[in-house]
Amino acid sequence: MALVTTKKMFEMAYKNGYAIGAFNVNNMEITQGIVNAVVQEQAPLILQISKGARQYAKMSYLRAIIDVAVTENPDIPIVMHLDHGDSFELCKQCVDDGFTSVMIDASHAPFEENIRVTKQVVDYAHARGVVVEAELGQLGGIEEHVQGVDDVMAHLTDPDQAVEFVERTGVDSLAVAIGTSHGAYKFKSEPKLAFDVIEKIQAKLPGFPLVMHGSSSVPKEFKDLINKYGGQMPDAKGVPEEAISKAAKMAVCKVNIDTDLRMALTAKIREVFWTKPAEFDPRKYLGPGREAITEMVKHKLHVLGCAGKAAECR
């Protein structure tokens, strides 16, 4: 099947209490690792492309890789999504480039400006059959071009503002700030997520899909491997998987995962370089990295509850 939008995915996810995994891609091996996992688990899939990925690999290459994944796996519904679009112009370009979903992130701007820019993107995208995600409230941490705030709990999404924002913009989904944080170095201690914010928004906007950003769990197994084989990753805590599963049973229909992919790939590459220092064949270290991504993503699909849900999301 051709690329799809998130409409049917989010409808079924909300109705049946699970979330769709949205995984960031930067190259062929990462994409193959993710796609191999969803094919094995028969799960729906959102492949995200960030501004940094577009600069690194060029849109033409990334689109070609995703097109192959779609062609070779006609039973898997796949969305191509722009992650953290920072302007109307970028979102417009991505709509024109064939994305089926775009995110406009003007959460750093004042409320009225966020509404204005988001509405501009929504009007352009909807006229061309593309869905739009926006963000309200601010997350912490740093990820590529996204600079978060230091005190995440002081910048949570206001439920009343969320209602006004959705009604005035016509946006299709909303990334909410509930205490999560971008990047690998999220928390020094166990995070406390504001599930009450999700509950209040869900009560005020029944049936409306919410999105969790900054939701990688920073797996200890990969951190330990990275450090064992010459890395220098300090201790950090990600979002507990129990918290992700809880949110997925509520109004959260999309969960973003990027850091865990990078860690899986880096850990296996470092292991090969350390244990086989004479190795110079990229296939011999990128291959194990790809396999590690597949196994990690398969696990995440069960955490999210979307394993086995591909058919109902088509």
Give me the active site residues, please.
83
Rounded CA gap, 116 and 88, in Å? 10
Rounded CA gap, 279 and 284, in Å? 7
* C-beta neighbour count of 5 within 10 angstroms: 19
Q: Which residue has the tokens 């004479």?
A: 278
Going by the DSSP 8-state scheme, the letter that residue 172 receives in this structure is S
Q: Using alpha carbons only, give the angle 296, 281, 38 rounded to the nearest 5 degrees.
A: 25
Beta bridge partner(s), residue 134: 104, 174
End-to-end CA distance of the chain: 9
Give me the count of residues in the chain.
314
Locate the DSSP E strands across 8-126.
Answer: 20-24, 45-49, 78-85, 101-104
